[in-house]
């Protein structure tokens, strides 16, 4: 329903509902074609990686004294503070360095110098003399770096000027690990702390009483352990109490009687041991037999196996003995045959010589007979 004060005004439609929206404009026909702009060498197009930029400034902090404005002067403005990121920036020209910044700058410069010297040491083009000089420089730099690392700025400047960045980093990493794991641990209640503290206090009290009773000197305890051959205090006390009980007056008489009896037995044994020469010879033989038995102890274990093996090889030994006898007879007969062959060779040689002589004689006689026959035939 329209407001009565707007009645009878021109341009108002009373028979239509009130509308407070305007109709949408018709969309103009747009084309997907974009004309590429011509490349201009004077315009520098930089490709910035968002992930690299995020990593670069992930640990940066902002303070009230930051200044990002561009200036013409030599002194640069102060921007992000990168102390938490583990990277250190040099201060602007004209600003005074703090001792912490000087220490950090020296550490960075020493690390860079060590890397450069190490690269020069590996280079093969450099002479040996230069390498030796680089080795000396590296030694001096490493020594100075150790001295700089051992410098405790907290004790010199105070904890307020030197932030404990290592502990902060460790706490931040632990918090990140807890966030990723999603495991929640309950905070210990004061009652549990009191109970653990009371338990520790009682243990310390008992330890103090034990040290007061036994003693806390290692030399005395080591002597006690050596005398009793045990490391248990209760066992050592039990042994000492047993030995002390033997020294009581009512038991000394019994011990004295036993010692007297033992002394008499020892005297009788000594008299028997110092007997005649036959006993001495017998004892000597017994000791020799004992020594032989002790020396043959390692052989005693394998002796039954050796006897069994010898019994098993008895037939083989007999056959080998007979075979050896046969071989000896064969060798003897072979020697006889060899001798007879030598004699036969000599006899054959003599027969051959005799036969040759007889043949020569017969040949001569036959020749003479032929000559005579020839002479007779020519005479006729």
Q: Is the pLDDT of residue 335 over 90?
A: yes
Of residues 104, 97, 116, 200, the one with CA closest to residue 151: 104
Q: Which two tokens stand for residue 252?
A: 């000394």
Which residues touch 336 (CB under 8 Å, ≥6 apart)? none
**Is 280 or 370 the better-scoring residue by pLDDT?**
370
Residue 370 confidence class, pLDDT cut points 50, 70, 90? very high
| Three-state secondary structure call for residue 81 | strand
- Give how far Cα 169 sits from Cα of 101, 109, 157, 164, Å: 19, 23, 21, 9
Q: Is the pLDDT of residue 378 over 80?
A: yes
Among the ranges given (47-61, 105-119, 251-265), the one the predictor scored with the smallest mean pLDDT: 47-61
Of residues 34, 276, 59, 286, the one with CA closest to residue 173: 59
For residues 139 and 145, what is the distance between their CA atoms, to the nearest angstrom? 10
**Is 273 or 90 the better-scoring residue by pLDDT?**
273
Task: Please report the pLDDT score of residue 84 as a whole number.
Answer: 44
Range of the domain at 165: 97-172
Q: Is the pLDDT of residue 2 over 80?
A: no
pTM for this model (two decimals): 0.24
**Is 186 or 103 the better-scoring residue by pLDDT?**
103
| Three-state secondary structure call for residue 61 | strand
Q: Decide if 332 is inside a domain.
A: yes
Q: Identify the domain boundary among 148, 172, 196.
A: 172
Q: Decide if 285 is inside a domain.
A: no
Q: Is the pLDDT of residue 277 over 50?
A: yes
The predicted model gives 306-333 an average pLDDT of 91
The count of domains in the chain is 2
- The per-residue DSSP string of 92-106 comes to PTTPPPPHHHHHHHH
| Three-state secondary structure call for residue 31 | coil
Among the ranges given (155-159, 194-198, 355-359), the one the predictor scored with the smallest mean pLDDT: 155-159
**Is 41 or 372 the better-scoring residue by pLDDT?**
372
Q: Decide if 87 is inside a domain.
A: no
Are the beta carbons of 2 and 14 closer than 8 angstroms? yes
Of residues 93, 132, 94, 88, the one with CA closest to residue 108: 88
Q: Identify the domain boundary among 172, 196, 225.
A: 172
Q: Decide if 261 is inside a domain.
A: no
- The per-residue DSSP string of 179-214 comes to HHH----PPPPHHHHHHHHHHHHHHHHHHHHHHHHH
Q: Decide if 180 is inside a domain.
A: no
Residue 223 confidence class, pLDDT cut points 50, 70, 90? confident
Q: Decide if 327 is inside a domain.
A: yes
Report percent pLDDT > 70 for the chain: 67
The predicted model gives 198-207 an average pLDDT of 79
For residues 216 and 208, what is the distance between their CA atoms, to the nearest angstrom? 10
Task: Please report the pLDDT score of residue 91 as a whole number.
Answer: 60
Q: Compute φ and ψ for 22, nearest 5 degrees.
A: -100, 145
Are the beta carbons of 74 and 93 closer than 8 angstroms? yes
The predicted model gives 355-359 an average pLDDT of 93
Q: Decide if 377 is inside a domain.
A: no
Q: Across-strand partners of 334?
A: none
Residue 350 confidence class, pLDDT cut points 50, 70, 90? very high
pLDDT digits 0-9 by tens, 65-116: 666 665 555 555 555 554 444 455 556 556 777 777 787 788 888 888 888 8
The predicted model gives 254-276 an average pLDDT of 80
- Give how far Cα 184 sits from Cα of 168, 170, 171, 176, Å: 21, 19, 16, 13
Are the beta carbons of 63 and 83 closer than 8 angstroms? no
Residue 160 confidence class, pLDDT cut points 50, 70, 90? very low
Task: Please report the pLDDT score of residue 38 as a whole number.
Answer: 67
Q: Identify the domain boundary among 120, 150, 172.
A: 172
Q: Decide if 214 is inside a domain.
A: no
């Amino acid at each position: 329903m329209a407001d009565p004060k707007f009645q009878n005004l021109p341009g108002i439609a009373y028979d239509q509902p009130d509308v407070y929206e305007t109709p949408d404009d018709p969309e103009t026909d747009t084309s997907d074609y974009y004309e590429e702009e011509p490349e201009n060498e004077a315009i520098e197009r930089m490709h910035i990686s968002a992930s690299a930029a995020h990593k670069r400034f992930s640990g940066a902090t902002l303070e009230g004294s930051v200044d990002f404005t561009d200036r013409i002067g030599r002194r640069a403005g102060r921007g992000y503070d990168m102390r938490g990121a583990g990277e250190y920036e040099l201060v602007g020209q004209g600003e005074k360095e703090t001792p912490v910044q000087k220490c950090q700058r020296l550490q960075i410069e020493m690390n860079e110098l060590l890397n450069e010297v190490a690269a020069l040491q590996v280079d093969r083009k450099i002479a040996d003399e230069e390498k030796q000089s680089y080795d000396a420089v590296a030694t001096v730099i490493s020594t100075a770096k150790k001295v700089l690392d051992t410098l405790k700025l907290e004790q010199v400047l105070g904890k307020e000027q030197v932030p404990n960045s290592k502990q902060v980093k460790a706490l931040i990493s632990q918090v990140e690990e807890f966030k990723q794991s999603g495991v929640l641990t309950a905070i210990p209640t004061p009652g549990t702390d009191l109970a653990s503290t009371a338990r520790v206090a009682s243990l310390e009290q008992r330890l103090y009483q034990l040290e007061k009773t036994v003693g806390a000197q290692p030399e005395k305890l080591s002597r006690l352990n050596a005398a009793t051959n045990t490391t248990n205090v209760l066992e050592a006390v039990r042994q000492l109490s047993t030995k002390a009980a033997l020294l009581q007056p009512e038991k000394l008489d019994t011990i004295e009687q036993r010692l007297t009896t033992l002394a008499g037995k020892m005297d009788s044994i000594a008299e028997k041991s110092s007997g005649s020469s036959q006993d001495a010879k017998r004892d000597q033989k017994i000791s020799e037999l004992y020594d032989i038995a002790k020396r043959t102890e390692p052989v005693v274990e394998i002796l039954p196996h050796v006897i069994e093996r010898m019994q098993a090889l008895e037939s083989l030994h007999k056959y080998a003995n007979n075979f050896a006898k046969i071989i000896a007879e064969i060798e003897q007969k072979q020697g006889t045959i060899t001798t007879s062959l030598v004699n036969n060779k000599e006899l054959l040689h003599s027969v051959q010589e005799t036969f040759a002589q007889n043949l020569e004689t017969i040949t001569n006689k036959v020749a003479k007979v032929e000559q005579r026959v020839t002479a007779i035939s020519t005479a006729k």
